[in-house]
Chain A
């Protein structure tokens, strides 16, 4: 069995609002990723995708607070560590995070090479300027980035190039887990393809050991990651391989999501697009039963009372629903 790079057990984190209310936006989430594998996280806005990404780094700042659970990266438990220690010993080396607007993260008055020096200095590694430069040049060449970009300011680079440069800088210390939160959503399709190609190459070459990819663009997720996990209202509702999740989703919410996929391919125009009516629940007062029950077309009165657990059905698949997979599949078949 391949080595587990990231293991998360029952991680719960909350936001504390100004009124002092607790909002559990990541609620008992457990997941694991093996070495060399990638996991995609899908779900609508506000379902907790980005909060999960922030929580996984172990670096909490108000209003986000750690409540319980464990985050183990390559055997090392990082949950509940002092934020300063996390910044020095975890971020960049164990786990790296690329936020959505990463391409705007660079100070426009500094050259790209300087940012790499900053990363090395922040981790107090014993390297001089020349060594850092050599390392940066090697890394850029390996990632297919022009080496002269190191001497440029961020404004001289195109959007796609800037995004790739930021990814290269944040992974310069070869982290074990790379979390990319919508890394290509602000780019046009051609630059998006280049960013994805670079990230996949990094994973294949072992420059990062595992990857978490967050987006609501399902066709993209399908093409990038090995597994897909769907989140709803702070909980995992289903997980499986990318192919299973797109072509054979079990949970009614995942099925709704997969049926909103739009791609320019023959035959897809004749498939009826379905929308999921309603809005997600307010997490200040989460419903007692299944969180999706109010929007679920199959929900029975008992669904609103009983909160189903995440059921592991083997083969890396799990889902959260009171109905058995056979029951759900039968209804889906009846519908089509």
Chain B
């Protein structure tokens, strides 16, 4: 086989690759999408009081891709629940598009959820097992006021959403979500978001149950979604390498507080907070040596 023959394949290549988007753009001039001042959540279990999120301030702008990085127990999930309106903050205020958020009644909550949607860690438990893929996508169209659209138009919209995530809708009709692989399911979740077009997407560890090679595809799709729709994406993760790669800005969370935030290059390469320094040094790398000699095995014993 000649090298030219192999080389020829490169020209026709339709390989998926991650776009670089707007990662160095200054988002502070963009309108505010979601912001919080002194947001706190306290849990009481018996006599024990746990401050899961402790007076955090944040400003998420339109079209920005934000990563919230922290280890287990740092308060990431509690914060994301508060952002989604599934938990009320004990203290502090969350503003949605510059206005104080009001989710006091069911109707107001539903209205709020038109503006914010989520993708969760476990794609296998994100779907109703009794609903076929068609009805999953049809629900999204109906929710966005497309209930009275002609059938053909709905089909076209579903096809478009699926092709956005490199799935073929014609092959998915009449199938159940569990017939897909984890990566495909997660992509279908993104297709849902594409149809719903919320202002904010909260992605809670969307790639942690997916393998390294499908991970790139999911990241690519999130970036594409942000680029095409101007959606704000809040990415919650424990993977620092991933956060470094994808985000416009990073928030590092420890014990319910943001210990450091800013542009990924600044936070990851020149960390200032001791916690960020430790976190970065504990991650295995490939160009720098991973120093195991400093590990104290009796720590936390």
On A, residues with C-beta under 8 Å from B are 44-45, 143-146, 149, 158, 160-161, 164, 188-190, 192-194, 196-198, 200, 216-220, 222-224, 246, 256-257, 260-269, 272-277, 279, 297-300, 302, 322-323, 327-328, 330-331, 334-335
Stretch at the interface among B9-17, B34-42, B152-160, B225-233: B9-17
Which residue of A is nearest B10, CB measured? A335
Are A265 and B1 within 8 A (Cβ)? no
**Chain B 196-237 against A: per-residue CB contact (8 Å), 1 yes, 0 no?**
000000000000000111111101100000000000000000
Within the complex, what minimum Cβ distance (angstroms) separates B76 from chain A?
A: 12
A44 in contact with B214 given A264-B240, A327-B6 (CB within 8 Å): yes
Q: Which residues of B in the span 66-91 have a Cβ within 8 Å of any Cβ on A?
A: 71-72
Q: Which of B23, B213, B239, B285 interacts with A260 by CB under 8 Å? A: B213
List A contacts of B192 (CB < 8 A). Answer: none
Partner of A44, one of B212, B243, B265: B212
B166, A144: Cβ atoms closer than 8 Å: no
For residue B286, CB closer than 8 A to chain A, the reply is yes
14 CB contacts below 8 A, A to B, read A189-B71, A194-B299, A217-B284, A223-B290, A261-B286, A263-B283, A263-B286, A264-B240, A268-B245, A277-B15, A322-B1, A327-B3, A331-B10, A334-B7
* CB-based contact B282/A192 at 8 Å: yes
Docked-complex contact B216 and A188, CB < 8 angstroms: no
Indicate which residue in A200, A262, A331 contacts B245 across the interface (CB closer than 8 Å).
Answer: A262
Q: Please tell me the number of chain B residues within 8 Å of chain A, measured between CB atoms.
A: 59
Closest A residue, CB atoms, query B267: A264
A residues in contact with B241, CB < 8 Å: 219, 261-264, 268
Is B179 part of the binding interface, using a Cβ–Cβ cutoff of 8 Å?
Answer: no
Cα distance, A218 to B213, chains bound together (Å): 11
Which residues of chain B have a CB within 8 Å of any CB of chain A?
Answer: 1, 3, 5-7, 9-10, 13, 15-18, 23, 71-72, 166, 181-184, 211-217, 219-220, 238-245, 264-265, 268-269, 278-280, 282-288, 290, 292, 295, 297-301
Say yes or no: A331 contacts B7, CB within 8 Å: yes
Please, which residues of chain A bring their CB within 8 A of the CB of B184? 279
A330 touches B3 (CB 8 A): yes
* A265 & B285 in contact (Cβ 8 Å cutoff): yes
With contact pairs A298-B6, A322-B1 given, residues A217 and B212 touching in the complex (Cβ less than 8 Å): yes
Write out the residue numbers on chain A whose beta carbons fall within 8 Å of the beta carbon of B182.
45
**In the complex, what distance in Å separates the CA atom of A149 from the CA atom of B297?**
13
Known: A45-B211, A274-B16, A297-B9. A144 touches B244 (CB 8 A): no
Residues of chain B with a CB closer than 8 A to A261's CB: 212, 241, 286
Residues of A within 8 A of B17 (CB): 272-275
- Nearest 10 A-B pairs (CB), nearest first? A144-B297, A262-B241, A275-B216, A188-B71, A189-B282, A264-B244, A275-B217, A146-B301, A44-B211, A197-B295
Report if A145-B297 is in contact (Cβ < 8 Å); known contacts: A44-B212, A264-B240, A331-B10.
Answer: yes
Chain A residue at smallest Cβ distance from B300: A158
Chain A residues, Cβ within 8 Å of B242: 262
* Residues of chain A lying within 8 A (CB to CB) of residue B268: 264
B residues near A264, Cβ cutoff 8 Å: 240-241, 243-244, 268-269, 280, 283, 285
A248 → B minimal CB distance (Å): 13
A218 to B283, CA, bound (A): 12
Q: How far is the CB of B208 from chain A (nearest CB, A)?
A: 9
User: Given contacts A194-B299, A263-B241, are A275 and B213 in contact (CB under 8 A)?
Assistant: yes
Q: How far, in Å, is A117 (CB) from chain B's closest CB?
A: 22
Chain B residue numbers with a CB within 8 Å of A188 are 71-72, 238
Q: Which chain B residues border A331 with CB–CB below 8 Å? A: 3, 6-7, 10
B216 to A273, Cβ gap below 8 A? yes
- Nearest chain B CB to A146's CB is how many angstroms away? 4
Chain A, residue nearest B211 (CB): A44
| Chain B neighbourhood of A196, CB < 8 A | 292
A189 touching B216 by the CB < 8 A rule?
no
Please, how many angstroms separate the alpha-carbon atoms of A273 and B221 in the complex?
A: 13
Other than the given A144-B297, A263-B241, A265-B285, 6 more pairs (CB < 8 A) read A260-B213, A260-B216, A269-B264, A273-B18, A274-B17, A274-B216
Q: Are the CB atoms of B6 and A269 closer together than 8 Å?
A: no
B245 to chain A, nearest CB (A): 5
Q: How far is the CA of A317 from the CA of B223 in the complex (A)?
A: 37
B295 to chain A, nearest CB (A): 4
